[in-house]
Structure 1
Amino acid sequence: MAEFEFDETVSLAAAPEVAWDLMTDVPRLTRWISVVHDARELEPLRHYTAVIQDKVGMFKLRAELDITLTGVDEGKRVVAHAEGQDRQVGSRITVDAEVLLEAAEDGTATDVRVHGRYAITGNAATLGSSAIRRKGDKVVKEFFQHLGSETRAA
């Protein structure tokens, strides 16, 4: 099993309401990450599906994810759990994440912290932790780059 943690914070020059609207627009969020495709909202702020697809070493990984928001504190916090598997490659993916928003005292800026862990088991995990870690770091970086540019556009 390859398991990793992530913890990133970005300060946005946006009011908390703007940051919240961006962070809870799941179809938009999934477009920010190049390995995520075909996102579908089954129940707003509760249940989604998406496909994660990428080449990891010699494996072409494609897994349908079931995404559940297990905790939503309006305007402040979202907790998510995603899991899925690629039966052809024989690998399972799980992601647990929490998004926290904290407004600046004057209400004109918002700190967004995303932290959690992801794990890959099975054949794809045999690649070793460095290849999987690089992919995970790339996904987190893409997410925050798009968050910053979307916030400036809003």
Structure 2
Amino acid sequence: MEFTNEFRVSLPMEAAWDLLTDVERIAPCMPGAQLTEVDGDRFHGTVKVRVGAVTVQYRGTASFDQLDEANRTVRLAASGRDTHGQGNADAHITAALAPDGDGTRVTVRTRLSVTGKVAQFGKGVMTDISRKLLDQFVACLEERLAAERETGGEPAAASAAPAPAPAPVLAPAPEPAAAQPKAAEPLATAPVTPAAEPSAAPATPPESEPLDLLAVARGPVVKRLVPAVLAGLVLLGVVRRLRRACRCRSGRHRA
């Protein structure tokens, strides 16, 4: 299935290009996704999707097929496989940037192929889901950009470096009682501080919350079900009226 979405970023073209091609920077804003490893231009990660009571986790990779900085176009290929072997997903995403006032307009074209439990959603529902997820992604980006502006361009979570400890104040040495020469005392050596042990490896980032597709798709699904439900109610009313008419006729014939 293929669908096209658009969104706007409140950054000029050059800054928007730098942001949207920095996968490590934007990965925390991708619903249900977690970046686990960066190997050059290849990115490894997981995406958790919940369908009702069932949670599906895709583990896969993504890489840039094209980075056309002159035309501000980027093409990304991603593929993942259900960790239980019950489905897979492949996506080819092309994003084109264009100036939009003091910001940047981004047009995203996606070609998606998915099997397994997620495939139960049709193209219409998946199109609405992609739009809602993109809205969440953009809202997250704008929040992070606002936080970075408040901190002067630094990530909001960054902490200030600790202030250096004040240098010790040395007291002046006392004057000798007599002018008589005195044997030099051995210099005191500063105590040797043992070398600090290497710090532990950084903790693994917390796992992302699964993306609840039914919650996201509830609105689109309801929109598509309402006409069918109304048609069913109308049909049910017609059937009841026909039954009543038949009963009345049969009663008259008996009389």
Same fold (TM over 0.5): yes
The answer to whether the Cα contact below 8 Å between 1:56 and 1:131 also exists between their aligned partners in 2 is no
Q: 3-state SS of the aligned residue for 2:115?
A: strand
Mapped pair 1:15 → 2:12:
yes
Q: 1:131 to 1:86 in 2, by over 3 A?
A: farther
Equivalent runs, 1:89-100 vs 2, <5 Å: 90-100=86-96
Q: C-alpha offsets along residues 21-66 of structure 1, whole Å, 9 cap, x if unaligned?
A: 11011012221022101342211xx311110112123431111121
* Contact 2:35/2:43 (<8 A) preserved: no
The one-letter code sitting in structure 2 at the alignment partner of 1:40 is: E
Q: Is the 8 A contact 1:103 1:111 kept in 2?
A: yes
Label 1:151 to 1:110 Cα distance change in 2 as closer, same or farther (>3 A): farther
Residues 51 and 132 from structure 1, CA distance in 2 versus in 1: closer, same or farther, beyond 3 angstroms?
farther
Contact 2:9–2:138, Cα closer than 8 Å, also in 1: no
Q: Secondary structure at the match of 2:30?
A: coil
Query: CA–CA distance in 2 between the matches of 1:128 and 1:109?
Result: 34
CA contact (8 A) 1:59 1:89 kept: no
2:34 & 2:112 partners in 1: Cα distance? Answer: 18
- The question of whether the paired residues in 2 share the 8 Å contact of 1:89 and 1:124 is answered with no
Q: After alignment, is 9-18 or 27-36 more displaced?
A: 9-18
User: In structure 2, do the counterparts of structure 1 residues 26 and 150 end up closer, same or farther at CA, with 3 Å as the change threshold?
Assistant: same
**Percent of aligned positions that are identical:** 21
C-alpha change, 1:137 and 1:61, in structure 2 (3 Å) is: farther
Quote the residue 2:162 is aligned against. Answer: none
Aligned-pair distance for 1:132?
A: 6.4
Higher helix content, 1 or 2: 2
Alpha-carbon distance between aligned partners in 2 of 1:112 and 1:89, rounded to the nearest angstrom: 34
By relative contact order (CA 8 Å, sep 6+), the higher-ranking structure is: 1
Which is worse superposed, 56-65 or 15-24?
56-65
| Structure 1 stretches lacking a partner, 5+ long | none
Kindly indicate whether the alpha-carbon contact (under 8 Å) linking 2:5 and 2:131 is maintained by their aligned counterparts in 1: no
> Which amino acid is the alignment partner of residue 16 of structure 1?
M
Equivalent position SS for 1:14: coil
Structure 1 residue 91: deviation in Å? Answer: 0.6
Aligned twin of 1:114: 108
Q: 1:146 to 1:6 in 2, by over 3 A?
A: farther
Query: 1:137 & 1:12 partners in 2: Cα distance?
Result: 15
The residue identity in structure 2 corresponding to 1:73 is D
Q: How many aligned residue pairs are there?
A: 146
Q: Distance in 1 between matches of 2:115 and 2:109?
A: 20
Query: Secondary structure of the equivalent of 2:141?
Result: helix
Q: What residue in structure 1 maps to residue 54 of structure 2?
A: 59
Change (3 A) 1:114 1:147: farther
After TM superposition, give the deviation of residue 149 of structure 1 in Å. 3.5
Q: Which amino acid letter does the alignment assign opposite residue 10 of structure 1?
A: F
1:62-141 → structure 2 map (5 Å cutoff)? 62-74=57-69, 76-88=72-84, 90-104=86-100, 108-125=102-119, 127-129=120-122, 133=126, 135-141=129-135
CA distance, structure 2, for counterparts of residue 59 and residue 135 of structure 1: 18
